[in-house]
Amino acid sequence: MSSLFSAGALGPLELRNRIVIAPMCQYTAQDGNAGDWHLMHLGQLSLSGAGLLIIEATAVEQQGRITPGCLGLYSDDNEAALKRVLDAVRAHSKMPIGIQLAHAGRKASSHKPWDGGQSLRPDEGAWQTEGPSALPHAADEPPPIALDAAGLARVKSAFVRAAQRAVALGLEAIELHAAHGYLLHQFLSPIANQRADEYGGSLANRMRFPLEVFDAVRAAAPAHIAVGMRLSASDWVDEGETWTLDQSVQFAKALAQRGGSFIHVSSGGVSQKQKIPLVDGYQVPFAERIRRESGLPTIAVGLITDARQADAIVANGQADFVAIARAILFEPHWPWRAAAELGATVEAPQQYWRSQPREMKGLFGEGAKIGMR
């Protein structure tokens, strides 16, 4: 039996298989509002047969967007626009849907990737960024304002309000973004956090604000909602003080003690000096150790593109779930092919049952039979 296609759970959330569609920014929102592109994008992914779909990084404040095109959940208009998309998707798919709530911190106010990704200029609509310290992400970028006590309280409240909107939308999982150099990761890493107060310096202090945000969101969400975090397990920077796997293990243990439902293990993003060895499954060893030492349900991600590779990660206990990102953009029915290769079954919409190749009879389950006239 395929381990990848066995049932599993992220805390209270039961999933029919171990394939997670990772959150992937689309940079196509208008004033934070989801539109027709999101309907098409999420619609096709919701028919893929994966166990869980996580909506892209969604800003909890307008100034927390990476780009002007980033999705948001900070206003009534944002909530209504996303509801329209979700209502249409749910009319044709039973796939559980989660959302990644995020704040870009000092990496906000940027161009879209296909427009270069650099910081916006004032004449291009730039806004003031914020961070744990007044340190820019790159030397040629404007520095952020260091968040004071009022700013920290405001950001935490924004995460809570966005989580409440997510619950109102019927989303079944909330992933807090503490990876890829965005605000919560900035607090964790001494590269970006050089505060001298209770939120900087020691590991316990640097972990304080991300854990306060988690605690507040977990308290605001009903028990049946899975609440976890995406974490950069390493900064991949060799020089100076940096965020490491050892520290990530301690953070994951703290998250587990607070009732975290899962941890989604990525890496990098906080420094332009990072040196990442991009090989197949390069982040899986991070996920394996964090899973072993924290006991949290763990999602592995990063250059996992082969079905047997994904199956082995789950079978060997390296992670509980495997997240697919760019590979499923390229091949939206990746789980169908994976199930065919592994001799498993996968859920497919009735309208597509006739696509099942004759040699793969049973791929869509025994009930997937169709008569012809």
How high is the pLDDT of residue 327? Answer: 96
Question: What pLDDT digit, counting tens, does each position of 263-296 carry?
Answer: 999 999 999 999 999 899 999 999 999 999 999 9
Which token pair is 24? 């992937």
Which token pair is 288? 């394996």
Q: Where are the domains of the chain?
A: 8-342, 348-373
Judged against a pLDDT cut of 60, whether residue 52 lies above it is answered with yes
Instruction: Tell me the C-alpha distance between 360 and 340, whole Å.
Output: 7
pTM of the model: 0.97
Mean residue pLDDT of the chain comes to: 96
> What mean pLDDT is predicted for residues 4-21?
98
Q: Would residue 182 show up in a list of annotated catalytic residues for this protein?
A: yes
Domain covering 8-342, topology: TIM Barrel (3.20.20)
Q: What is the widest separation between alpha-carbon atoms in the chain? A: 75
**What residues have CB less than 8 Å from 186, skipping those under 6 apart?**
105, 106, 131, 132, 192, 193, 270
Our measurement of the distance from residue 86's CA atom to the centroid of its chain's CA atoms, rounded to an integer in Å, reads: 18
How high is the pLDDT of residue 76? Answer: 98
**What residues have CB less than 8 Å from 212, skipping those under 6 apart?**
156
Q: Which amino acid would we find at residue 243?
A: W
Identify the band that residue 359 occupies on the pLDDT scale cut at 50, 70 and 90.
Answer: confident
Question: What pLDDT digit, counting tens, does each position of 241-254 carry?
Answer: 999 999 999 999 99
Helix axes 307-315, 334-342, angle to 10 degrees: 70
Report the percent of the chain where pLDDT is more than 70.
99
Active-site annotation holder among 27, 74, 182, 199: 182
